[in-house]
């Protein structure tokens, strides 16, 4: 049955992605600066580890789009080199060293794949709705195994992954539910493929565990939606005939201090890697911002 609001109109769904939900969960202040403040506060320099991750993801996606006979490890390495992103590195020498490491990662990973085992989707966008949220996201790879779908997520970070990482991932659970509803096939297994170690952290969900993740997503969304509404109610609207502000128009800056009770900072060690650290005194005190290449493996 369709849920109705108090005015008899259908209840407005909260449109989101797993990333938006997780940002609210981890730090409401970062959420505000990312999704609500306009113009968005200037970010810090780009991160080198994000360049590595994007380069690897792009290369693997492109590899699956090649004709099957061309899907070789050497081709994967060439795609990585061709699409390499140089932002965030200390210098050209450091960029080149990590480019070669990333090339080795994708070549070793694709050497263990069957080129003929065509995925159901690569960089596949899926979406679903509940009574409270409209959520969408993009899956790195969606496999078909034994009549069921499997969500595959590539990881390139330094930290080894565990079964608990796969089990507790809100994003992977949402992807599984959305993929199952969009493609009308069961999807319970989620996998984190950690390219640096070559290990796969996997979890087989049940209908009950997926329901718990969706309920968790709805609870997070309810908090974020209430804060969004409070924010919009206090932001001055353009007067009639006044053009809307563009990204470079700072003539009508909004004083965001009154919103801090709704969007508190949650300082901790990860503040050192926050794009908005310069705008957050609590974050800077908790952990001074790292150099853009700080999260790269030290042994390269």
CATH of the domain at 174: 3.90.320.10
Neighbouring residues of 57: CB distance < 8 A, sequence distance ≥ 6: 140, 154
Number of compact structural domains in the chain? 1
CA separation for the pair 288, 152 (Å, rounded): 34
Average pLDDT score over residue span 60-82: 98
Residue 199 lies in a domain: yes
Q: Which of 296, 299, 297 is nearest to 46 (CA)?
A: 296
Residue 287 lies in a domain: no
Average pLDDT score over residue span 226-254: 64
Average pLDDT score over residue span 84-105: 98
pLDDT tens profile 131-180? 999 999 999 999 999 999 999 999 999 999 999 999 999 999 999 999 99
Neighbouring residues of 205: CB distance < 8 A, sequence distance ≥ 6: 167, 173, 176, 188, 189, 190, 213
pLDDT of residue 2: 35
Over 70: is that where the pLDDT of 249 sits?
no
Residue 240 lies in a domain: no
CA separation for the pair 265, 192 (Å, rounded): 29
Over 80: is that where the pLDDT of 235 sits?
no
SS3 43: coil
CA angle 90, 194, 111 (to 5 degrees): 100
Residue 198 lies in a domain: yes
pLDDT of residue 244: 52
Mean pLDDT of the chain: 91
Of the given ranges (50-54, 144-148, 167-171, 243-247), which has the lowest mean pLDDT? Answer: 243-247
Beta-sheet strands, E only, within the chain? 14-16, 121-129, 133-145, 148-155, 187-194, 199-204
Residue 171 lies in a domain: yes
Over 90: is that where the pLDDT of 16 sits?
yes
Residue 158 lies in a domain: yes
* Residue that wins the pLDDT comparison between 186 and 12: 186
Residue 201 lies in a domain: yes
Q: Tokens in use for 140?
A: 């790195």
Phi, psi of 137, deg, nearest 5: -170, 170
Q: Which of 61, 62, 56, 66 is nearest to 100 (CA)?
A: 56
Ordered DSSP codes for 86-114 = -TT-SSHHHHHHHHHHHHHHHHHHHHTS-
Kindly state the percentage of the chain with pLDDT values over 70: 89
Q: Which domain holds residue 186?
A: 122-211
The terminus-to-terminus CA distance of the chain in angstroms comes to 57
Over 80: is that where the pLDDT of 11 sits?
no
Over 90: is that where the pLDDT of 242 sits?
no
- Please check whether residue 146 is in contact with residue 183, taking contact to mean a CB–CB distance below 8 angstroms: no
Residue 149 lies in a domain: yes
CA separation for the pair 104, 195 (Å, rounded): 10
Average pLDDT score over residue span 72-83: 98
Write down the pTM of the prediction.
Answer: 0.89
Over 90: is that where the pLDDT of 250 sits?
no
């Amino acid at each position: 049955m369709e849920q109705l609001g108090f005015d008899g109109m259908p209840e407005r769904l909260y449109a989101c992605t797993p990333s938006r939900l997780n940002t609210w969960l981890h730090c409401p202040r970062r959420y505000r600066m990312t999704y609500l403040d306009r113009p968005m506060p200037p970010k810090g320099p780009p991160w080198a580890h994000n360049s590595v991750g994007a380069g690897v993801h792009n290369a693997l996606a492109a590899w699956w789009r090649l004709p099957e006979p061309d899907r070789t490890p050497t081709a994967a390495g060439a795609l990585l080199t061709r699409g390499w992103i140089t932002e965030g590195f200390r210098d050209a020498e450091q960029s080149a060293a990590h480019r070669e490491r990333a090339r080795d990662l994708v070549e070793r990973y694709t050497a263990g794949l069957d080129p003929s085992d065509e995925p159901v989707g690569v960089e596949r966008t899926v979406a679903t709705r509940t009574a409270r949220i409209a959520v969408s996201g993009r899956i790195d790879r969606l496999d078909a195994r034994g009549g069921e779908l499997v969500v595959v997520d590539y990881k390139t970070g330094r930290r080894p992954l565990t079964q608990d990482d796969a089990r507790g991932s809100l994003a992977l659970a949402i992807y599984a539910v959305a993929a199952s509803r969009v493609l009308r096939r069961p999807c319970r297994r989620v996998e984190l493929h950690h390219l640096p170690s070559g290990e796969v952290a996997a979890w087989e969900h049940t209908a009950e565990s997926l329901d718990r993740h969706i309920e968790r997503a709805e609870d997070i969304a309810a908090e974020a939606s209430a804060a969004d509404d409070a924010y919009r109610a206090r932001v001055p609207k353009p007067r009639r005939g006044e053009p809307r502000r563009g990204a470079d128009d700072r003539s009508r800056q909004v004083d965001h201090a009154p919103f801090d009770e709704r969007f508190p900072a949650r300082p901790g060690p990860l503040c050192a890697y926050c794009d908005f650290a310069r705008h957050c005194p609590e974050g800077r005190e908790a952990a001074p911002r790292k150099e853009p290449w700080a999260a790269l493996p030290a042994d390269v």
